[in-house]
Amino acid sequence: MEILIISGLSGAGKSKAASFLEDIGYYIVDNLPVDMMIKFADFCAASSGRYDRVALVYDVRAGEPFDKLIGTLERLKDSGVNCRMLFLEASTQTIINRYKETRRMHPLSAGGMGMEQAVLKERELMQPVRDHADFVLDSTSFSTAKLRSELLNLFGSISDRQGLNVNVMSFGFKHGIPIEADLVFDVRFMPNPYYVAELKHKTGLDPEVQDFVFGFQQTNEFMDQLKKMLSFLLPLYSEEGKTVLVIAVGCTGGHHRSVAVAHKLAEYITTEGYQVTENHRDISR
């Protein structure tokens, strides 16, 4: 069983971190009192594997002496539980800016303390906790994607870290561009099988249509350039933390050219090691 305690400064990203960890299988409990942590660990241990990965969010809101948290952390480790602590922090100005954007009050501001004073006071109070953390992340310059990437590197499995799912879809422009598309490619410049009598009522999944579409030099040159572009872009999207990328290929009706190209593109991206879903939105219209 693994218990991860997420602590740190207010406004440093604990809630976002908890959400990302939940996405990769952690069971999240926010603001659990220290006195309940040992009992909760016993409950998880008796759950037959249901709660094997747990993350507990704990911060200044608890209003407890932090030496209780540190003592409980050591007790859990001594009992054989894989218990670690992640501490999130950021610069004082960054935290102040984040609170201004959200228009929320700092937990220590309730007593009339100014924002900067509250942040500095919390930093002082939390220092013993920081000193006992197994991991410390400074989120000052982190985008949301960067925070996710750092957490995946620390706590994710290999499959979590290679989690870019690519959805390749074909569509017809006359039915509208898919609103979920990240990248849109127009293949209406290619010769159209619709005007070939024996191909008109077939689709881009039929070998005869594929042979026709890829029988032209411009189609193959387009595919070569598209593959080069995607071999450059996909690792960057993955590194940035994107989990789903939708690539839409469109022709006039969504029956022939776009289907054939999307199908070949899906095959290529699969060989590059990405998880691929193939979808032909308008093929039956």
**Residue-level pLDDT at 152:** 82
> Which of 11-15, 48-52, 197-201 is predicted least confidently?
48-52
DSSP lists the bridge partners of residue 4 as: 55, 84
Q: Which of 252, 248, 257, 249 is nearest to 199 (CA)?
A: 257
The domains found in the chain, sorted by start residue, are: 2-158 (3.40.50.300), 165-280 (no CATH)
> Which of 8-12, 125-129, 160-164, 210-214 is predicted least confidently?
160-164
pTM: 0.61
- pLDDT, mean of residues 48-55: 86
Q: Report the distance separating Cα 37 and Cα 144, nearest Å.
A: 29
Q: Report the distance separating Cα 123 and Cα 130, nearest Å.
A: 9
Q: Report the distance separating Cα 69 and Cα 31, nearest Å.
A: 12
Identify which of 20-29, 57-66, 113-122, 170-179 has the greatest average pLDDT.
170-179
* Structure confidence by residue, pLDDT tens digits, 236-264: 888 777 778 999 999 999 999 999 999 99
Task: Give SS3 for 88.
Answer: strand
What distance, in Å, lies between the first and last C-alpha atoms of the chain? 51
Q: Which of 87, 92, 118 is nearest to 105 (CA)?
A: 118
* Structure confidence by residue, pLDDT tens digits, 100-159: 888 888 888 876 788 999 999 999 999 999 999 999 999 998 878 778 878 888 887 665
- DSSP 8-state code for residue 8: E
- Integer CA distances (angstroms), 270 to 68, 161, 207, 276, 279, in order: 51, 17, 20, 6, 14
Q: Which of 279, 276, 280 is nearest to 267 (CA)?
A: 276
For helices 115-131 and 66-78, give the axis angle rounded to 10 degrees.
30
- pLDDT, mean of residues 208-220: 97
Residues 6+ away with beta carbon under 8 Å from 105: 99
Question: Residue 165: which pLDDT band, with cuts at 50, 70 and 90?
Answer: confident
Residue type, 37: M
The pLDDT mean for the chain works out to 90
Rounded to 5°, the CA angle 237-241-246 comes to 50
For helices 92-102 and 115-131, give the axis angle rounded to 10 degrees.
120
- Integer CA distances (angstroms), 240 to 61, 149, 203, in order: 32, 7, 36
Percent of the chain with pLDDT over 90: 60
CB 183 within 8 Å of CB 245? yes
**Residue-level pLDDT at 24:** 86
Percent of the chain with pLDDT over 70: 97
**Residue-level pLDDT at 106:** 86
CB 21 within 8 Å of CB 151? yes
